[in-house]
Amino acid sequence: MSIQVDNRQIEAHEGETILSALRRNGVEVPTLCHMDGMAPTGACRLCVVEVEGFGGLVPSCSYPVAEGMKIKSRSPRVLDARRTVVQLLLSNHPDDCLYCSRAAKCELQELASELGISERLYSGEKSTRTKDVSSPSLVRDPDKCILCGRCVRVCEEIQSVSAIDFMNRGSKSFVGTVFDCGLNVSSCINCGQCVVVCPTGALSERFEIDDVLAAIADPDKFVVVQHAPAISVTLAEEFDMKPGTDVNGKMVAALRRVGFDRVFDTSFSADLTIMEEGSELVQRLTSGGVLPMFTSCSPGWIKFVETFYPEFMPNLSTCKSPQQMMGALIKTFYAERQGISPENIVSVSIMPCTAKKFEARRGEMGRGQLQDLDYVLTTRELGALLRRCGVNIEKMESDTADTPLGERTTAGKIFGASGGVMEAAARTAHFLVTGRELDKLEIKPLRGLEGIKQASLDIDGTQVNIAVVSGLGNARALLEEVRSGRQDLHFVEVMTCPGGCIAGGGQPLNADLDAVRARMKALYKIDRDGPVKTSHSNVAVKKLYDEFLGKPLGHKSHELLHTSYEGREVIK
């Protein structure tokens, strides 16, 4: 159908909203509460437009198009209404923009600038609530919340966790947890997807940059850093480079410039994870173990099972995540080889995930009083750290990770995308059983951004049914199927965040779906072009087993690389 927008004709489709039609035709309309792909709420009223004959303004996010409709998207009446909405939000908003975690990336600030708001028109008593710093991963600052509802929606509708919701009514409304307790005793699984969608600084990760810099400055500390597979294809966006740009070599050089004593690639321990997890799968398949087996790389998923589905804990792989495996090896194997006391090692990881901060502090992740990991920085924190230290990543000369814990295959690298763990595991599981490589290492049904992907793998005449799930709402749906009697699955990969680690809660803000696709494409390009594509072909991993671990699922491996979990009691 044809509609008129600002005195020009554009094409619209039956059933779509005004907002959808306008944006598809290059007409930008501001929003705060709207989330692409989700049912509109029409709550913030920033997207109002003027429709001829209607008599008033309508929210474009929820109002359907009609043949011959005449719309004004930027009339004086529309712009005045939008300015009023933002001015009212600012009347109850803190003025600490210089110190805010979202400085220069705040959508409210951008809207105020775009609408020409240069002074506070409304003033009065501001609502004040206590900042919630109880979580090991996330910080909530209710004073900066504008009640857009995005965090509530992503937590409930995408992740199916419902750790937060609107409380009270009218001017007393706020977003909080059950009984307004801390996040640490709520059902929050620390995924950070709420941080990614929050338009202001009301939600952020717990920053650990100062602690890391203090450790680097301490001459008595040996500071080691590892970086996750997804980091090298997302860090570029923190420096306004094209999404999907792989800055692996430059990032390694930048980390050394900052002052880290050793730089390791977590893709190495991803390969190690595959050796342990693949062996565990084969053992369960051949000895009547609990099936389906679920991967255990994603800490948000683990806490989700502990909280909502404790009966499925025996289905979880006992393997630690690659982050924790690397942490354990640094403070045992590497410390021993280098003659360094583990107490003097400060182990840092760069992760795309806020839940990794929680994982590093789990009581199971260490030996005695010594934790496997000391600090976890998100991709965003790494960008802030490099800027603080005056390191321009674009101008760095490429460097390589330290060995032996930095040598990787491309199988370890694709862990960063949904389906990557399963694909890497399938390659190695087939080899462990048959002694032969898969005819085609690339398993296309496992690739892409679909929430649930399924495939079958023939291993020496045995059909192994596998599934890949990303986003905990999708994981809940699959778990309910298994709970209701589904028995055909053998191995399931679950990633907490939709799309996997490339879209984790610690990744660059304001990224769209095209950026996530570019990150995924970059990882698979690395896999396509890399010389070694299977985890069992990693020479350094083989040497580690020969010299230190013994064999997959052996005594030493179980001691350092495996763990167990318990059900959780939370306020919900």
Q: Point out the residues that are catalytic.
A: 277, 280, 297, 317, 356, 359, 364, 501
Report CA dihedral (467, 473, 476, 481) to the nearest 10 degrees: -60
> How far lies 345's CA from each of 206, 223, 332, in Å?
22, 6, 10
247: left (phi over 0), alpha (psi -120 to 50) or beta: alpha
Cα–Cα distance for residue pair 538/515, rounded to 1 Å: 30
Is the preceding peptide bond at 292 cis, omega within 30 degrees of 0? yes
Report CA dihedral (284, 289, 295, 296) to the nearest 10 degrees: -120
Report CA dihedral (355, 360, 364, 370) to the nearest 10 degrees: -170
> How far out from the chain centre does Cα 299 lie?
11
Cα–Cα distance for residue pair 469/211, rounded to 1 Å: 35
- Output DSSP code: residue 166: E
Cα–Cα distance for residue pair 107/202, rounded to 1 Å: 12
Contact 471, 158 (CB under 8 A): yes
Please provide the distance, in angstroms rounded to a whole number, between the alpha carbons at the two ends of the chain. Answer: 48
Q: Please state, as a whole number, how many other Cβ atoms lie within 10 Å of the Cβ of residue 140.
A: 28
> What is the bridge-based pairing of β-strands 138-140 and 70-72?
unpaired
Closest CA to 273 of 557, 39, 568, 523: 557
Cα–Cα distance for residue pair 182/169, rounded to 1 Å: 21
Quote the crossing angle between the two packed helices 420-434 and 266-287, to the nearest 10°.
Answer: 60
| Phi and psi, residue 443, nearest 5° | -110, 90
Which residues are paired to 454 by β-bridges?
467
Residue 338 host element (H or E): helix 335-338
Residue 463 host element (H or E): strand 462-470
> How far out from the chain centre does Cα 170 lie?
33
Burial of 183 (0-12, 13-18, 19+ CB in 10 A): buried
Contact 300, 497 (CB under 8 A): yes
Please give the biggest Cα pair distance in the chain. Answer: 80
List of residues 6+ apart from 324 with CB closer than 8 A: 359, 360, 365, 372, 373, 563
